[in-house]
Amino acid sequence: MKENIKIRLFNKNDEEKVREIAWDTAFLGKPFQLLDDKKLITDFLVSYYMKHEKDMLYVAESNDKIVGYLTVCRKPLKSKLIKFFIITPLFITKLICKGHIFNSTIISAIPIALKNFIKGKFSTPELKGFCSHLHINIANDFRGKGVGTHLISAMVENLKKNNVKRVFAITISEEAAKFFEKNNFSKLKHTALIDFEKIYGTKIWLNVMGLFVK
Ligand SMILES: CC(C)(COP(=O)(O)OP(=O)(O)OC[C@H]1O[C@@H](n2cnc3c(N)ncnc32)[C@H](O)[C@@H]1OP(=O)(O)O)[C@@H](O)C(=O)NCCC(=O)NCCS
């Protein structure tokens, strides 16, 4: 059944709910399995958008309840600088101070991530000309009801007004890749990540999805 959905811009009162959805969906639509620290993970995932790009952070409401959100980054340089110089160093410092760095799964994930990085698995030359990136997450009970499609439509209208021609998303969820294709994104890259199945028990694919805004 399709829901009665209202799309609006984020405001400060939505912060907790957005963090909750980000946490619940952080890894393949489920909570992040490696680390049980909601504040730390959601600071890393959504704090930049909530602080610095509120004008492109949409929430979806059903009966006054927030059931999903979509963020677009339109300031890639600012985002890279803030993530590189503030968010990531803070994340790593807290990881160490809180003792998470000694978590055995994290320890085994580091060389695997490095191996993928060295083999170019995370490189995205096909994104030349794409500046804006997006993240979208829908609360578990509200998936498959058209909420994501409503959010994408609102975003596209905003991008047109702002003369943004291309936007991309990176996802390790095959279902999310299908959702993006249904919403007119093209699959620009589809590659199997090396050795992640040793941690997650299942092969992980990286999908780079691009939309040419018309
Ligand atoms: C992926 C996600 C954003 C899709 O939003 P949604 O509101 O559930 O999607 P919609 O109901 O608007 O679906 C639109 C179309 O996308 C496709 N689609 C959506 N979810 C799908 C799934 N799990 N498997 C296959 N196709 C899917 C369908 O073709 C659907 O059309 P239909 O209803 O006519 O069959 C949402 O399910 C979600 O948040 N998942 C978990 C987190 C995630 O993977 N986020 C993306 C990371 S960038």
pLDDT for residue 102: 84
Sequence spans of domains, the chain? 6-212
pLDDT level of residue 2 (50, 70, 90 thresholds): low
Q: Give the DSSP letter string of the chain.
A: -----EEEE--GGGHHHHHHHHHHTTBTTB--SS---HHHHHHHHHHHHHHH-GGGEEEEEETTEEEEEEEEE--HHHHHHHIIIIIHHHHHHHHHHTTGGG-HHHHHHHHHHHHHHHTTTT--GGGTT--EEEEEEE-GGGTTTTHHHHHHHHHHHHHHHTT--EEEEEES-HHHHHHHHHTT-EEEEEEEPSSTHHHHSS--EEEEEEEE--
The pocket around ligand 1, CB under 6 angstroms, is made up of 25, 29, 135-138, 143-149, 169, 171, 173, 175-176, 178-179, 182
CA separation for the pair 211, 183 (Å, rounded): 9
Q: Which atom of ligand 1 is nearest to the CA of 147?
A: 7
pLDDT for residue 15: 97
Pick the more confident residue, 48 or 2: 48
Q: What spacing in Å lies between the alpha carbon of 178 and ligand 1's midpoint?
A: 7
Q: Which atom of ligand 1 is nearest to the CA of 179?
A: 16
CA separation for the pair 43, 18 (Å, rounded): 11
Across residues 136-148, what is the average pLDDT?
A: 96
pLDDT for residue 3: 65
Q: What spacing in Å lies between the alpha carbon of 177 and ligand 1's midpoint?
A: 8
6-212 — its CATH code?
Answer: 3.40.630.30
Q: What spacing in Å lies between the alpha carbon of 149 and ligand 1's midpoint?
A: 8
Per-chain mean pLDDT for the chain: 93
Q: Does the structure show a pLDDT above 90 at 200?
A: no
Angle at 127 between CA 133 and CA 159, to 5 degrees: 40
Q: What spacing in Å lies between the alpha carbon of 147 and ligand 1's midpoint?
A: 9
CA nearest ligand 1 atom 15, residue = 179
Q: Which of 32-36, 78-82, 209-213 has the lowest mean pLDDT?
A: 32-36
Q: Which amino acid is at 142?
A: F
User: What are the tens digits of pLDDT across the range 92-116?
Assistant: 999 899 988 888 888 888 999 999 9
Across residues 71-86, what is the average pLDDT?
A: 94
